[in-house]
Structure 1
Amino acid sequence: MSKKDITLAHQWLKEADRILVTASNGLAISEGINLFANDSRLRKVLGDLVDKYHLTSLLQAFSFPYKDELDYWRMVARVAEYYNYNYQASIYMKQLKKLLAGKPYFIWTSNTDYYFVQAGFDRIFEVEGNWMTGVCTSHPDEHGTFNLSEKLHTIYQKDQANTLTSVDLPRCDKCNAQLSLNVAGEYFQPDRSQIDSLRKFLVESEGSKLLVLELGIGAHNQLIKEPSMELVASYPDSRYITINKGEINIFPDIADRSIGFLAGIGDALEAIMTGESSEIQTQGPSKSQVANKMSDKQEELMNQIYPNYMVDSSFHGSYPIYITIDKDHPALLHGSEAGQSWMYSIGDSATAHCFTPDGQYYKVKLGLDKSKNQVHGFYLNPGTLIAIEKDDGSAGFAQLSTNIAVNSSGRILLPKVNELIAMYPEQEELIKHLAIRAD
């Protein structure tokens, strides 16, 4: 019932203590940037480069292997000039500012267009970076990042005057190496200050009425959407509103605290702020459901292993799960006859302790800080035992995702602690600390 849902969404906005805004391609498209489109605007932005390289979208333009580095930077400068130079905040950004007024907020986005910064929002995590920032290709960890706004405008002007040379291209001011755009890829350096700010916001949001407001994120996005729904599941007083013209996907576990808007972002934001609309289709709160049905034995083991987990019910044949751990509640030692991929989502970094069947112990740090040898994800071979805890000295929580197989070959394995200690005597204290039970 749309009217009732809209009234309720407006009430949730008023009652919210804090707001986490999540955003992806749907918002970018509303702002006029369609990375996937092959339309007249593409030629207007990129000009002769479209025919020269047979470019069919902005996404292809950014990933194309240009043999001429001048053409690569011509492309970047033309995009920045068209979309970012003299940028004026859109109606959607103005609506969002009005909606957030007076509330502690944070924005978590995979958009690389730099619009949130230019629109005046100052609490942002750009999880895949932005195309207005450069990073040193020789020493990406040590030399940091560089704002390219002025440089890109100069490149554009010289490009238009046919005077652009390699001397004009951006270089690291510490070693003179070439710069690359600081977006997801080989040299990407996540902004540590942004990550720390998001972590602080989430820790401070525990126990509050947190509203997660999702703007234009794909139904099965695993980078932001699924971790943020798991966050809602972890915070019992939180609520979730998603806006998407296409498919609405809400985890069954949080259905009773969720509203979906099948509408344009502008119309939906206006309805949420006013509590009034007669044209919008919604998917309102419904009774929460147990996601996938595990066997009693498997569920018992899961509850022993993981301090807080949620299963994604939209997959079959396996259970994608999202876990939240804190400094006092690690994910305890277990293994599986099937392999597992482990991925960092948000929050603090975490350490995975791994014990292989052939007697090898190693550990992996999950996170985004490459300078600390952290990785975004890794694969755990079948039969290897794993336990995960927070890194030393960190506070708050970490959010991770993995996959638990449900067929017979994916049986969850628990170690015999005494036998494990006999195999790894140097890790005895660690094993006892992370064991589910003592023999």
Structure 2
Amino acid sequence: MGTTPEDLAVQIKAAEAILVGAGAGLSTSAGFTYDGSRFTDHFGDMIDKYGFTDMYTAGFYPFKTPEEFWAYWSRMILVNRYETPVGKPYQDLLRLLEGREFFVLTTNVDHQFRKAGFPKARLFYTQGDYGLFQCSVPCHDTTYDNEEAVRRMAGEQRDMKIPSALIPQCPVCGKPMATNLRSDDTFVQDEGWQAASGRYAAFQEKHLRGRVLYLELGVGGNTPGIIKYNFWRRVHDNKEAVYACVNLNEAYAPAEIADRSVCVSGDIGGILAGMLEMKQR
């Protein structure tokens, strides 16, 4: 059906509804990488001590103490959640979707959609949020804003350790807190998560038929079942639907829906910016 930004622009304009599926590639296109200078500028001492190679794999390091663990994680959250500006690709995407019936499903946890001004009612963060803590057990299903705690841990750490008094503890059971990120079955799906899940389900139910555009942006192979495979199946089942994939290196569609797919290879930010220029002409 097409391989160019112009082809994608045609499908966006023709769609009755648009379901956006956004992965890590969208934030990468905004410059929010987990390696390179963003990594070395903020974690040089930890690179020397632990041999870290990037922020993502460093998150799995078996720190010996909670003071060391939270020294890393408070910096990581601060850099990627609280001190990042609004990414231009997110702003451009919102402007492309203005006035349209749309919903966003994302595995990203950096809060960029909300920073860019996307309405909360049109977002479902399936994998959590860097900005929330939860009980690590968990003993209850409430999450807690962590900005104040994160800023204190990042600001008061010395020699890659936070003060023991700052180790976050569950206010109910006293056990350690954890960041609200999906990694195993301890992930807390709180009231806000359940409400967003319900809104997402309602959007899908409303648009089972008709000219629906399933717009996938920067989705890789870590959790393809959440967005990619889901979108393929829905386009396959709805013969009026169109699948679109924008990805730097992995823009493709299965043969079963290839005749109703637009796969655009290249930098997502540049492609969205170019499409916005086309729209404004």
TM over 0.5: yes
Tell me how far apart the structure 1 counterparts of residues 161 and 59 of structure 2 sit (CA, whole Å): 23
In structure 2, the partner of 1:261 is 264
Tell me how far apart the structure 2 counterparts of residues 233 and 163 of structure 1 sit (CA, whole Å): 52
Taking a change above 3 Å as real, the CA distance of residues 103 and 275 of structure 1, as seen in their structure-2 partners, is same
1:55 and 2:52 equivalent?
Answer: yes
Whether the 8 Å contact between 1:134 and 1:146 is mirrored in structure 2 is: yes
Shift of 1:249: 2.0
Shift of 1:245: 1.7
Tell me how far apart the structure 2 counterparts of residues 164 and 86 of structure 1 sit (CA, whole Å): 19
In structure 2, the partner of 1:230 is 233
1:154 and 2:152 equivalent?
Answer: yes
Taking a change above 3 Å as real, the CA distance of residues 86 and 25 of structure 1, as seen in their structure-2 partners, is closer
In structure 2, the partner of 1:245 is 248
Tell me how far apart the structure 2 counterparts of residues 97 and 75 of structure 1 sit (CA, whole Å): 33
In structure 1, the partner of 2:114 is 117
1:293-372 to structure 2, matched below 5 A, reads: none
Tell me how far apart the structure 2 counterparts of residues 232 and 54 of structure 1 sit (CA, whole Å): 44
Q: Secondary structure at the match of 1:43?
A: helix
Whether the 8 Å contact between 2:133 and 2:143 is mirrored in structure 1 is: yes
In structure 2, the partner of 1:408 is none
Query: Structure 1 unaligned runs (5+)?
Result: 277-439
Mark the structure with the bigger radius of gyration: 1
Which structure has the higher relative contact order (CA within 8 Å, separation 6+)? 2
Taking a change above 3 Å as real, the CA distance of residues 154 and 119 of structure 1, as seen in their structure-2 partners, is farther
Taking a change above 3 Å as real, the CA distance of residues 164 and 211 of structure 1, as seen in their structure-2 partners, is same
In structure 1, the partner of 2:211 is 209
Shift of 1:232: 1.4
1:181-192 to structure 2, matched below 5 A, reads: 181-186=179-184, 187-190=186-189, 191-192=193-194
Whether the 8 Å contact between 1:20 and 1:105 is mirrored in structure 2 is: yes
Taking a change above 3 Å as real, the CA distance of residues 111 and 6 of structure 1, as seen in their structure-2 partners, is closer
Whether the 8 Å contact between 2:68 and 2:162 is mirrored in structure 1 is: no
Tell me how far apart the structure 2 counterparts of residues 72 and 16 of structure 1 sit (CA, whole Å): 47
Amino acid at match of 2:14: E
In structure 2, the partner of 1:28 is 27
Question: Size of the alignment, in residue pairs?
Answer: 272
Shift of 1:5: 4.8
Whether the 8 Å contact between 2:27 and 2:87 is mirrored in structure 1 is: no
Shift of 1:262: 1.0
Whether the 8 Å contact between 1:219 and 1:247 is mirrored in structure 2 is: no
Aligned-pair RMSD on alpha carbons? 2.5
Whether the 8 Å contact between 2:216 and 2:227 is mirrored in structure 1 is: no
Shift of 1:179: 0.6
Tell me how far apart the structure 1 counterparts of residues 20 and 154 of structure 2 sit (CA, whole Å): 33
CA deviation profile, 1:179-225 (whole Å, cap 9, x unmatched):
11111224212322221121111111122321111111236933321
Tell me how far apart the structure 1 counterparts of residues 23 and 5 of structure 2 sit (CA, whole Å): 23
Aligned partner (choices 94, 112, 116) of residue 91 of structure 2: 94
Q: Secondary structure at the match of 1:132?
A: strand
Structure with greater strand percent: 1
Whether the 8 Å contact between 1:10 and 1:273 is mirrored in structure 2 is: no
Whether the 8 Å contact between 2:70 and 2:162 is mirrored in structure 1 is: no
Shift of 1:95: 0.4
Structure with greater helix percent: 2
Q: Secondary structure at the match of 2:82?
A: coil
Amino acid at match of 1:237: E
Sequence identity percentage? 26
CA deviation profile, 1:324-367 (whole Å, cap 9, x unmatched):
xxxxxxxxxxxxxxxxxxxxxxxxxxxxxxxxxxxxxxxxxxxx
Whether the 8 Å contact between 2:141 and 2:188 is mirrored in structure 1 is: no
In structure 2, the partner of 1:166 is 164
Amino acid at match of 1:71: E
Tell me how far apart the structure 2 counterparts of residues 267 and 150 of structure 1 sit (CA, whole Å): 35
Query: Structure 2 unaligned runs (5+)?
Result: none
Q: Secondary structure at the match of 2:179?
A: strand
Tell me how far apart the structure 2 counterparts of residues 201 and 164 of structure 1 sit (CA, whole Å): 44
Tell me how far apart the structure 2 counterparts of residues 8 and 85 of structure 1 sit (CA, whole Å): 36
Q: TM-score, normalised by structure 2?
A: 0.86
Whether the 8 Å contact between 1:9 and 1:275 is mirrored in structure 2 is: no
CA deviation profile, 1:363-397 (whole Å, cap 9, x unmatched):
xxxxxxxxxxxxxxxxxxxxxxxxxxxxxxxxxxx
Aligned partner (choices 197, 208, 216) of residue 195 of structure 1: 197
Whether the 8 Å contact between 2:30 and 2:269 is mirrored in structure 1 is: no
Whether the 8 Å contact between 2:71 and 2:160 is mirrored in structure 1 is: no
